[in-house]
Structure formats: C-alpha cells, structure tokens
A and B are shown apart, each in its own frame.
Chain A
Amino acid sequence: MSIAVALVTAVLFGTGSWLMMQRRLTRIIIGIGLLGHGANLLLVSSGGPSGDAPIISGDGVENYSDPLPQALALTAIVITFGVTALLLALGYRSWQITKDDVVEDDVEDRRVLRRSNQDGPESEVDLEDAVPVGPDEDGVNRVVGERGEGDGS
C-alpha cells in the first residue's frame, strides 16, 4: 500500500468516525459515507501493489494486479451506495416529521428513568445535560441530550 493511499484511508476513517459521533443526522450520514469510502479504499488496496490490468494476453502472469479485491470492492461500493441512499431518504422523512435532524434518545428509556426518579430520592440520575423539547404524541415530555454539539450555524 502506498503512503498516499494509507494516508487517505486514515483521514477518511478519522473524519468519518468524528462525524459519526455528532448528534445531527446529516453529519452522521456524511460520516457513514466517509467511513464507507475508507473501508472500500482499504479493500481495494488489500490486493497489494498496483500492476497491469488483469487481462491475460499471453506474456506471463507476474505483473498483474490482484483482481479479486477489486471485485469485492465493487460489490461493497454498490451496497454502500444503496444503503446510503436509503439512509438519506430516512433522514429526509425524519426531518419531515420532526422538523429537526437531531438524533433523539430512546423515549421509552427516558420514561423508565423518570419513573425510577419518582420512586425514590436515592435513585437520582443526572439529567443536567438534557433539555426537554416539549411533549410528543404520547403526551410524554421527551428529553434530548445536547452535549458537545458544535452547531456551526
């Protein structure tokens, strides 16, 4: 693997992982895209150093590059593409419904948590870094954590 490819893979993995840890859905989707590219690039480069196109033309088979990882990477790219498209559609639907693209916490978990808060004073759980965002359709106050959100806008 050449230094350049290794470096690009590392950058893709790094930025992808960072974006994935955000709370904004669009960033997560872009992060997944970058991470997928990093993985596919790694897959392509796993065939070893580059060589001639793997088409047998009669003069030995020493200088060909390994075609198998390329085939694997093509398959993986198609899959990543399809799933990313689905994810974008889901993200759009989510935005249509909530008018927001913050990923929410497990609603039911919050319910159980709040119930245990009512049960006794000992079981207090730190809810400081969570803010209520109004009642949802069950009439339950939903709470969404907003920690570490470097919202650029």
Chain B
Amino acid sequence: MAPDISNFTSFLVPLPVILPLAGAALGILGSKFRSFQRVVSLVALVLGLAVSIALIVEVDDKGVVAQVAGGWTAPLGIAFVIDRLSAVMLVVSSVILLLVMIFAIGQADEERKQSSFHPLYLVLAAGVSASFLTADLFNLFVAFEMMLAASYVLITLGGRADQIRSGMSYVVISLIASTLFITVLALVYMATGTVNMADLALRFESLDPGVKAAFAIALLVVFGIKAGLFPLYFWLPDSYPTAPGPVTAVFSGLLTKVGVYAIIRTQTLLFDMPDWMGTVLLVVAATTMVFGVLGAIAQDDMKRILAFHIISQIGYMIFGLALFTVAGIAGAIYYVVHNIFAKTALFLVASLVDRRAGSSRLSEVGGLVRSAPIVALLFTVPALSLAGLPPFSGFIGKFSLVDAGLTGDVAWMVAISLVVGLLSMYSMAKIWSGVFWGEAEEKPAREPEPGERLGGPLWMIVPTVAIVVCSVALALWGGPVYEFMVRAAEDLMDPSMYRSIVAGGG
C-alpha cells in the first residue's frame, strides 16, 4: 500500500527520537573508532535538526501532527504528538544539541578520553526529544528516565572526587523525583484508568476537584524538582558546574527547560489552571527568582554564578504560565527559547574561560578582555541579553512578561521581576569585572593553556559564535517569533484540537 502523502509528515514525528537512538547504537558498536563516532553523532544530530525544521513548518500550517504507534487508535496506541509548543522546543533543542556536540569535538577533552561520550550524548538527545513529543504520561516518565540515565553518567564521566560527590546528590535527588513520578502515575491510573494525556484531560473533568488539585500539585512537585523551582532547586548549583564543560552547557540549557515544558504541558492540558493554582505558581515564581539571584550574588565562581542564574530565570517562565493568559504563556515560551540560547552560550564561554585561564574562579582569573577579546565579546552579548537590556532577546522576553503581568493585574510580581533583573545585571557585572577586567589575584589551580589568537580552538569558538548569533537573531526577528509563540499559546489555552487528535485516533 502506497503511503498516503498527506500523512507523510506524521511519519517524521518519531524520527527525532529514533535517529539519535540509532546513532547511539552505532556509536557503541564503533566505540574503538573515534572519527566514526563523530561522524555518526553529527549525522544523527543534523538529520534530527532537519526533521525538526520540517515538522515545525508543517505544524505551523496544520496545528497538530500525530503518530500513533503500531496503528492502534488512541487512546489504546501510544501516541507521539507535536504541536507548536513541542515543535519550537524540538527545533531549539536540536540546534543546541548539534552545536554543543561540535563544541565538545573541538574541545576534545572528555569527548576524546571517554568512548562512551558519544552514545550517552545521543541517548540524552533522544530523551529530550521524546519528552517534547510524547502524549502519554507514562511515556513522559520513560523519556525522562532515558534523559536522566544518560545524564547520570555524563555528569560523573571524569570520575573525579568532586564529580562523584556532586553527581551522587544529583542522582539521588533525581531518583526521588522519578519514584514520586511513578507513585503519581499509579494514583492517576487508579483514579482514571488511563495515562494518555488527552484521554486524562477528558476523564479529569468528572473527577472530584480535591483529587484533581492533589494531582496538579503532585505533578508540579515532580517536574519542579527537574526544573529547579523554589524550594526544590538546592541540588542544581551543586551538581551542574562539576560536569565537563559541554555537558554542563547542555544540562543548563535543556534539562531544566524540559521540566518547565512538562509543567506547562500538564498544567494547561490536564488541569485548566484554577485560580488558586495561579496564585501558588506566582508565589513559587517570585521566590524562585529572588532566591536564585541572591544565591548567584553570593558566589565567586563563574560557573556557580551562572548555575544559580538558571534557577532565577526559571522563575520568569513560571511567572508567565501563572498568569494563564495567551500573552503570559506566549511570553513564557519566548523566554524559555531566549534562555536556552543565552544560558548555553554563557556556559560555553565559561568553559572557554576555564580552558584559557586554568580556572573559572573570579579571584583566579583576570584581564581576559585583553588576552582573549573574542571570548569577552561572546560573553557580553548573552550576558546583557540575560540581564534583559535592549536590544537583545532577553529584553523582548522580559518586556512581554511585564506587559502580560500588568494586564493581568499582578503589579507586585512585575516589581519583583524588575528588581531581580537589576540584580542579574549586577551579578553579570561581577563576572565581567572579575574575569575580563583587572588582574588575577591568586594563582589558578591548573596551568593556563597557551595563548591562541581566537582565545580557544577554532571549533570551540565557532559553535559558541553560532549560538550567540541565534540569540541575536531571536531579537532581530522578535516580531515573527513572538507571533508564533502567541499561536502556540493559543493552542495551549484551547487544547480541544490536541485532545481531539490524540483521543480521536490521529
């Protein structure tokens, strides 16, 4: 039977998961041949990016595209569904995964020493894509586990004492979250008899509001641990900075945002956000912002300042969701995308600084603006963007959130977010004056690498430049991008289409 051409794109939907997994299998088989592994990884990630771009074009046209495994009709079959939110997350994560892989190859540190780096990285990529694509709560758990299992090994890849110590608390805390997730799944299945998300949304409607509220809170806690929400963020700044540079960049860019995605997806699709939930999320967002940025100010290591900033930025995304208006959610999605680019770029710069100066501690580094001006420039753009200065993407993100907040009558929240923005600026300035200006006050722990004209190897600089350019492009084409986010947010606010396609057999 000839495949129906109108359904052709639905065959593309599972590919962002299948391609990296196939690449990982090949990578394990060829673990003795480094260049073979590199080619396989790059091909898998490039193809994944191409498929994601094809999907986002198709999804913007049609709204939702679904693929149900094995030809079973939903809710019996296990569905992969892509809507505008999943599509934009998928494209952004594919870009990041590809560029950071090039960075890792350019750095040739863990990537060269450990033959398991490539397969693990691809499994992580598959897990991230699967989390964005799945329309089944249990499969979301499986996707999370795929991603986390790879991350457990990546974070401890060097086997150094500090990595094992901080990796241990990362693994334990993630496992507790996973166990909680299974428990919630079991209870949800007891209450409704399904784990298909669209089907769940329909059956939740007839459920007692108290039980429904309990599920909403339980899922918020589960994903809040992954996303690093207050008060569940304590593990994050301890564990991320010790991993190898590119790994930290991918973790900070993508893993927490997968948690944010899961929060947005479940709260909008399953629970319709009652008023009290909006208040809870606003308070959580405010505390996450404030504590994150205060933590950042107290640190004196570049990577740890940035790690605390991840937390603070998550607060803005939750702020947008908590408003539960089209403008708020559109702002939140724009902010997520902006933040993925800015954060990954900053961590790649931190890794360049670490390599160049032999340390990332503010007191042990100095004067890089003279010795590595390109690295300094690469830091400035995403740092100013993160602080929310015009004309960068962070300004557009914060502006849309502030605008939505004022329309939504939460002036106090807007005030907090602006103060936090100011404090972010302060801590970015602290990194700038500590790392790029002045002189090193103490001798760095390791010997600095010999000076290169670019400030690092070519293939470490090129991907960093590419991510910074993406971040700038996000501001230059802010209008069209924001309009796309508005369409995505409209889909989320009115999930009838998602529900009908997933529950109606795709």
Contacts and interface: CB of A to CB of B under 8 A. Distances in A.
Q: Do A and B bind each other?
A: yes
Interface of A: 20, 25, 28, 32, 35-36, 38-40, 42-43, 45-48, 66, 68-69, 72, 75-76, 79, 82-83, 86-87, 90-91, 93-94, 97-98, 103-104, 106-109, 112, 115-116, 136-138
B179 A35 contact: yes
Sort A-B residue pairs by CB-CB distance and give the 7 closest, nearest first: A39-B182, A42-B186, A43-B186, A46-B186, A46-B189, A106-B238, A46-B190
A82 B175 CA distance: 12
B145 interface: yes
B152 interface: yes
Contact of A86 (B152, B165, B179, B298): B152
9 contacts: A35-B179, A38-B183, A39-B186, A43-B186, A46-B189, A86-B153, A98-B161, A108-B299, A136-B161
Contact of B179 (A32, A94, A104, A137): A32
A39 B138 contact: no
B423 interface: no
B300 A94 contact: no
Contact of A137 (B161, B171, B176): B161
Contacts of B175: 32, 36, 83, 87
Contacts of A35: 176, 179
Contact of B445 (A79, A87, A90, A138): A138
B351 interface: no
Given A75-B142, A107-B162, A112-B300, A90 B156 contact: yes
Contacts of A109: 238
Interface string B75-105: 0000000000000000000000000000000
A43 B182 CA distance: 7
Given A35-B179, A108-B238, A94 B165 contact: yes
Given A98-B161, A137-B161, A39 B149 contact: no
Contacts of B186: 39, 42-43, 45-46, 69
B369 to A, nearest CB: 26
B152 A32 contact: no
B187 interface: yes
Contacts of B213: none
A36 B179 contact: yes
Contacts of A28: 172
A39 B164 contact: no
Contacts of A86: 149, 152-153, 171
A76 B141 CA distance: 9
A91 B168 contact: yes
Contacts of A79: 142, 145, 149, 178
A46 B182 CA distance: 11
Contacts of A66: 193
Nearest to A96: B164
Nearest to B76: A68
B185 interface: yes
A101 B145 CA distance: 26
Given A72-B138, A86-B153, A40 B172 contact: no
Contacts of B182: 36, 39-40, 42-43, 76
B299 A90 contact: no
Given A82-B149, A86-B152, A39 B183 contact: yes
Nearest to B190: A46
A5 to B, nearest CB: 12
Given A32-B176, A75-B142, A76-B141, 8 more contacts: A32-B172, A43-B189, A79-B149, A91-B168, A94-B168, A106-B166, A112-B298, A112-B300
Interface residues of B, number: 41
Contacts of B166: 106
A93 B142 contact: no
B348 to A, nearest CB: 21
Contacts of A43: 182, 185-186, 189
A20 B145 contact: no
A90 B183 contact: no
A68 B353 CA distance: 51
Among B180, B183, B186, B301, residue most surrounded by chain A Cβ atoms (within 10 Å): B186
Nearest to B172: A28
Interface in B229-287: 237-238
Given A40-B182, A75-B142, A83-B152, A108 B304 contact: yes
Contacts of B180: 39
A120 B325 CA distance: 47
A94 B165 CA distance: 7
A93 B190 CA distance: 40
A75 to B, nearest CB: 6
B346 to A, nearest CB: 18
B167 interface: yes
Contact of B176 (A20, A46, A48): A20
B168 A108 contact: no
Contacts of B237: 106
Given A46-B186, A86-B171, A97 B300 contact: no
Contacts of B187: 42, 46
B152 A94 contact: no
A90 B167 contact: yes
A94 B149 contact: no
Contacts of A38: 179, 183
Most chain B CB within 10 A, of A28, A39, A40, is at A39
Nearest to A72: B138
A72 B171 contact: no
A115 B166 CA distance: 21
B169 interface: yes
A31 to B, nearest CB: 9
Nearest to A34: B179
Contacts of A116: 298
Chain A CB count within 10 A is highest, among B162, B237, B299, for B162
B259 to A, nearest CB: 18
Nearest to A108: B304
